[in-house]
């Protein structure tokens, strides 16, 4: 069984690492805050004092961090993942970052004789805990085939194409995620202000032709947000801006993404950015009509 290194135990990384441990994989890990993995250490996680040490201990290295800057922080420098990679290693970054950033790192990984996959996920904490994430993967096909059993610990992996293609498809998915969440919140707010009971509006809309898995999972949270912020408005906004950047480079019109960008910017300015995306309803309800 392959030895796995894991860097980044946030809201998604923690349950994903736990599933690896439950599946019997030997896991070495690093997180900026060690206290957040104390429970995983009791389950067998082997702590390392830097991302480099994680990479040196593992056959396959996984990172799951928040954005391009966070990836830069754990991957580069004397204590970074790249310095710890050896020939034959596979590095799987599961963060949602710019396709250009992912391709740049893939070249640096290749220079060390290793292979890199970008493998962002679609789904949130409940899906991570249940192992039903959708995983979109870019990079070397042989490396994908080699780590598929590991990826299946978390859900269904899909090979998309060359490095960066997994990231691009994840951004494409999140354009719809933002548009759906905002449009659903708008509709519920319109119905509520027209005298329709909030719960009735949510139930009927989520059960209608527009009722996607996203809306069915998040609809009931519009007024009572989850205790844990599964996926924040600021993180969604980051992804929309990355999508817009890709759209500009590819000459692709993205009107829904532009509209989402504007609304999410206002939500951030109003102090809602660190809340779960279901807070889109509250943010809209406070905006002038």
Q: Please check whether the two domains, 4-161 and 168-285, share a CATH topology.
A: no
Which two three-digit tokens encode residue 278? 């279901």
At the top level of CATH, which class does the domain 168-285 belong to? mainly alpha
Domain residue spans of the chain: 4-161, 168-285
Q: If phi over 0 gives left and psi between -120 and 50 gives alpha, with beta otherwise, what is residue 76?
A: beta
Asked if 30 and 7 touch (Cβ cutoff 8 Å), the reply is yes
Known catalytic residue at 107? no
Q: What is the pTM of this model?
A: 0.95
Q: How confident is the model at residue 273 (pLDDT cuts 50, 70, 90)?
A: very high
Which residue matches tokens 């994908």? 144
Tell me how long the chain is: 289
Rg for the chain (alpha carbons), in Å? 20
Give CA angle at 211 (206, 215), nearest 5°: 70
Average pLDDT of the residues in 252-278: 97
Percent helix, strand and coil across the chain, each rounded to 5? 55, 15, 30
Average pLDDT of the residues in 222-228: 87
Distance CA 77, CA 73 (A): 8
Instruction: Tell me which DSSP letter residue 55 carries.
Output: H
Query: Which is catalytic among the residues 36, 170, 216, 238?
Result: 170
Distance CA 263, CA 237 (A): 9
CATH superfamily of 4-161: NAD(P)-binding Rossmann-like Domain (3.40.50.720)
62 CB burial (10 A radius; 0-12, 13-18, 19+): buried
Distance CA 156, CA 172 (A): 18
pLDDT at 217 over 90: no
Q: How confident is the model at residue 147 (pLDDT cuts 50, 70, 90)?
A: very high
Q: What is the pLDDT of residues 163-183, one digit of tens each?
A: 999 999 999 999 999 999 999
């Amino acid at each position: 069984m392959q030895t796995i290194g894991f860097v980044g135990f946030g809201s998604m990384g923690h349950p994903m690492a736990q599933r690896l441990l439950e599946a019997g994989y030997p896991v070495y890990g690093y997180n900026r805050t060690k206290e957040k993995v104390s429970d995983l250490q009791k389950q067998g996680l082997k702590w390392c004092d830097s991302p480099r040490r994680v990479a040196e201990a593992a056959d396959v290295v996984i990172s799951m961090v928040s954005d391009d800057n966070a990836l830069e922080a754990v991957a580069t420098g004397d204590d970074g993942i790249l310095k710890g990679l050896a020939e034959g290693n596979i590095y799987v970054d599961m963060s949602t970052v710019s396709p250009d950033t992912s391709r740049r790192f893939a070249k640096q990984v290749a220079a060390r004789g290793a292979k890199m996959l970008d493998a962002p996920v679609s789904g949130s904490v409940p899906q991570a805990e249940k192992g039903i994430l959708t995983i979109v993967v870019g990079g070397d096909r042989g490396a994908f085939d080699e780590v598929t059993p590991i990826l299946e610990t978390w859900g269904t992996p899909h090979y998309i194409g060359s490095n960066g293609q997994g990231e691009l498809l994840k951004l494409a998915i999140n354009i719809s995620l933002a548009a759906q969440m905002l449009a659903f919140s708008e509709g519920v707010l319109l119905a509520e202000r027209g005298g329709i009971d909030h719960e009735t509006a949510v139930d009927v809309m989520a059960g209608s032709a527009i009722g996607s898995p996203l809306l069915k999972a998040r609809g009931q949270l519009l007024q009572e947000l989850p205790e844990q912020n599964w996926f924040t408005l600021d993180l969604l906004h980051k992804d929309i801006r990355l999508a817009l950047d890709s759209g500009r480079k590819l000459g692709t019109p993205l009107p829904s993404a532009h509209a989402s960008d504007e609304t999410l910017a206002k939500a951030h300015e109003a102090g809602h950015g660190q809340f779960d995306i279901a807070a889109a309803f509250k943010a809209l309800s406070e905006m002038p009509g």
